[in-house]
Amino acid sequence: DAKTTQPPSMDCAEGRAANLPCNHSTISGNEYVYWYRQIHSQGPQYIIHGLKNNETNEMASLIITEDRKSSTLILPHATLRDTAVYYCIVRALTGTASKLTFGTGTRLQVTL
Amino acid sequence: GAVVSQHPSWVICKSGTSVKIECRSLDFQATTMFWYRQFPKQSLMLMATSNEGSKATYEQGVEKDKFLINHASLTLSTLTVTSAHPEDSSFYICSARAPGTGELFFGEGSRLTVL
């Protein structure tokens, strides 16, 4: 079971911020929220992860709600190269819960 | 960042033959690697967890005699699709878990086509 729920698809205009939501209402206390993306016919690419605080790196920002039941991945200035399937995954760092179980993800289409 | 490499990136084989796919962690030692399969327009499905020096752990519904996994060293895991059939045609992806942080890094994937 993927344990996350994401909208199947989203569109975003190039240069605008892309906000991708994810629900993970059954997340456990030791589970992190991870985001990966997969561009067509490539392996998944790590984007960002967090436990309970908001995180930012050179690719994106991750906003996690205080109750940790949902999060939003923000691509601040989307480009055409950001068109991909984005996966939100919850996992622990050790033990059997550390394996990544992929849901259906959100297909983001960035347009001119 | 860490690099995980798969070989071959694509392969075409005849039905009934066996195909081996390699997954290498290039700059770290991985005691655990994972193998996924992805059909067109679908998500990645975890097939098995490969543990160095021990038997792989297969997910429910995955035939261990059909998909042989060997993790003989800390930097190499192999997946052998035995007696391949057209329905085994898929995109196979591996990931390796880095020691310490537990972060997972993915290979580029291997596309198998069985004629």
Over residues A17-32, the pLDDT tens digits come to 999 999 999 998 889 9
Nearest alpha carbon to residue B112 among B3, B5, B8: B8
Question: Do the Cβ atoms of A100 and B104 come within 8 Å?
Answer: yes
A86 burial level (CB within 10 Å; 0-12, 13-18, 19+): buried
Whether residue A112 contacts residue A11, with contact meaning beta carbons closer than 8 Å, is answered with no
- Mark yes or no for CB contact A102/B43 under 8 Å: yes
B113–A contact, CB cutoff 8 A: no
Report the percentage of chain B scoring pLDDT > 70: 98
Q: Are A41 and B97 within 8 A, CB to CB?
A: no
Instruction: Encode pLDDT of B44-85 as tens digits.
Output: 999 999 988 888 999 999 999 999 999 989 999 999 999 999
Instruction: Compare A38 and A100 and report the one with higher pLDDT.
Output: A38
Instruction: Please tell me if residue B1 touches chain A, with a CB cutoff of 8 Å.
Output: yes
User: Tokens standing for A73?
Assistant: 């991945």
- A4 contact residues in B (CB cutoff 8 A): none
Average pLDDT over residues B78-94: 96
Name residue, tokens 């991945």: A73
Per the omega criterion (within 30 degrees of 0), is the bond before B40 cis? no
Question: Rounded distance, CA B80 to CA B78, Å?
Answer: 6
Q: Is the pLDDT of residue B101 over 90?
A: no
Q: Which residues of chain A make contact with B6, given a CB cutoff of 8 A?
A: 43
Which of these, B48, B44, B67, lies nearest to B57 by C-alpha position? Answer: B48
B106 — contact with chain A (CB < 8 Å)?
A: yes
- Average pLDDT, stretch B22-29? 93
Record: contact B105-A46, CB cut-off 8 A: yes
